[in-house]
Chains A and B, each alone.
Chain A
């Protein structure tokens, strides 16, 4: 059922492709224009993290149907250094976001659900979903 796209993230231009696909799926999921913008924002932040910390990885985008509701799932995965302290990584002010609420904490706030799994030395998988507003 699910439409799924895997976009390798190795360079800035891949971020473009991921945002574009995300936008297309947001449109199919019936998102309002502002929510599509915020979905693209979340994708950018996740892709940025992959490039910054793992250098390469992948973003999977999937259109969801659940109980008559549509949504877009974003799965960002990499085999980079991983995150030793996930709780800290989700606090504002950790590393790059400098207390402005960007990066992972920002993504968490923009999406309806957010899950992160990481093992030091093994990599990181972030799964986040945004649902259509009804």
Chain B
């Protein structure tokens, strides 16, 4: 729209020259030009569709008196201009499956940490309880109020540890599904932070396990982010679906930020959320302005036919 900022000639006329020359004499030079043009556009961050559009416009302008074999030749040139996109796409598919296996490994690690936190620290705490009780018997009665206080604090620690280990590897997610797991997560974070967190589940069905996990982890990251950075007093998790997508919204009434300037800090978490949904073919959008709260929408495409794939249960 704003003209061409670089000195490069515009794509349509380059493509036209290449196509005319290729249709005239099948020249390798024309194919190389088309290839280079596609590569340049890819590097400039443009998609394939403009290229296909250019192709058809240019071809339509040349069609009078063009024989079918020339139309096929034009197809060759188009393929050539798209070859670098093909190369790039193969790289992205590979990166995507790598990302999924990294996520899987991360989950395995989290399971181990959750286990250690729950079982091993739990055992250690039990020993401490026993010792405190012994001390109560051994020491003079004046020590009892202090020891009771220690016991109360230890109980609080135990509750926290149990909660944290469940959040790390929520068996509730496998057993009851996303809605109840989000409830559990929200309660824990609300209790720790003092932020009022509302959970709305309008889906109330089981989703494919990878979807449930991706949404759970994203909600966890999003809520922890907003506790740390948003200075919010209220937040809301909303799960909803239409025939093709399922969407999780994470909203807060906090200080907001400029999504374009989310340079470092919590943007690493946002990046992780985005990559997590992208690896499942989904998208993430952030709406925020300084002073106006934040809404993060994560959307995943439902498998064809709209079936959730894991049967349905009445989540209670």
With CB as the reference atom, state the residue of chain B lying closest to A13.
B29
Q: Is B42 an interface residue (CB 8 A)?
A: yes
A33 and B31 CA atoms in complex are apart in Å by 13
**Given A33-B79, A44-B35, A102-B84, A109:B90 Cβ within 8 A:** yes
Hey, which bits of chain A sit against chain B, CB under 8 A?
15-16, 19-20, 23, 33-34, 37-38, 40-41, 44-45, 92, 98, 100-102, 105-107, 109-110
What's the A-B contact tally at a CB cutoff of 8 Å?
A: 65
Closest A residue, CB atoms, query B29: A16
Q: A20 CA to B90 CA in the complex, in Å?
A: 24
Closest partner residue, chain A, to B28 (CB atom): A20
Whether the pair B95, A92 counts as a contact (CB closer than 8 A) is: yes
Chain A contact residues: over half helix, strand or loop, or mixed? helix
B92 within 8 A of A: yes
How distant is the Cα of A73 from the Cα of B83 in the complex, in angstroms? 19
Assembled-state Cα–Cα distance A101/B84 (Å): 9
- Are A44's CB and B32's CB within 8 A? yes
CB neighbors of A among B49-104 (8 A) = 76, 79-80, 83-84, 86-92, 94-95
Instruction: Tell me whether A40 and B79 are in contact (CB under 8 A).
Output: no
Name A23's closest neighbour in chain B (CB-CB). Answer: B28
Give chain B residues whose Cβ lies under 8 Å from the Cβ of A19.
28, 31-32
Which residues on A sit within 8 Å (CB–CB) of B95? 92, 101
Q: B91 contacts A34, CB within 8 Å?
A: no
| Residues in A neighbouring B89, C-beta threshold 8 A | 101
